[in-house]
Amino acid sequence: MTSLSRIRNNVRSVLDELPGHVQLVAAGKTRTPEELLEAVEAGVGIIGENYVQEAETAKKVIGSRVKWHFIGHLQKNKVNKAVDLFDMIETVDSVSLAERIDRRCEKSGKVMPVLVEVNSGEEPSKSGVMPEDTVRFIEELVRLSNIEVRGLMTMGPFTEDPEDARPCFARTRSIFTRIRDLGIAGTGFRHLSMGMTGSYRVAIEEGADMVRIGTLIFGEREYRKKG
Ligand SMILES: *Cc1c(COP(=O)(O)O)cnc(C)c1O
């Protein structure tokens, strides 16, 4: 089997497996536009990109027939490009970043759907808002009229055993439910983006409605870039 037809088969089996309410975000970092295109033709509707530059290159080939989600760490000097390229930014974790996105959107006449990234494992090396700060953080964000807070995103720990991530996913879900029930972000607050290749099944059990999957679709990454 060629690597492209393997991608096609992988996408189909992931899509077959996911419950109907769960959206697949194909994590595209380090993949070529041709590989991404193959995934799109097999049914992927959302591509998640960690790097603005890679997204720009891939979007030239694939265009707007899919949604583009930013899932990396967004540097402030990349905000303008990111606002132009992406349909959702999943990783908002500071008020100053949110304010920059808001200002750029105002200029472009756009409203950006965003997720708030939660550092659910409270790991110093990871980005994201601390769990206990999330409600207050979202109360600040909802004042900005050119972004819409649509939910939460979390990474969780990188370990072999996906059960290690379960407490972090459960914790994020419980914050999500609290914010939704408080109504502070309105009725558009309904997404929970959690789970990767090793952990998506556990994430879905814990309430994820978006899973971000790279390796299971495209194979092992051959190199890693710093984010
Ligand atoms: C790379 C990446 C993924 C997907 O990881 P895999 O283990 O390859 O499925 C998901 N989310 C984010 C934020 C990523 O950077």
Q: Does position 53 have pLDDT exceeding 90, yes or no?
A: yes
Question: Cα–Cα distances in Å, from 206 out to 71, 104, 165, 170, 177?
Answer: 20, 35, 10, 6, 12
pLDDT band at 222 (very low <50, low <70, confident <90, very high): confident
Helix (H, G, I), strand (E, B) or coil at 72: coil
Question: Cα(114)–Cα(98) distance, rounded to whole angstroms?
Answer: 9
Note the pLDDT tens digit of each residue in 136-179: 999 999 999 999 999 999 998 988 899 999 999 999 999 999 99
Question: Cα–Cα distances in Å, from 169 out to 41, 93, 106, 163?
Answer: 31, 17, 33, 10
Helix (H, G, I), strand (E, B) or coil at 48: strand
Pocket probe for ligand 1: among 90, 115, 118, 212, the residue whose CB has the most ligand atoms within 8 Å is 212
Q: How far is the CA of 106 from the centre of ligand 1 (A)?
A: 30
List ligand 1's pocket residues with C-beta within 6 A. 27, 29, 50, 71, 196-197, 212-216
How many CB atoms lie under 10 A from the CB of residue 188?
Answer: 11
Q: How far is the CA of 186 from the centre of ligand 1 (A)?
A: 28
Note the pLDDT tens digit of each residue in 182-194: 999 999 999 999 9
1-5, 8-12, 16-20: least confident range: 1-5
Sequence-separated (6 or more) residues with CB below 8 Å from residue 157: 121, 123, 164, 165, 168
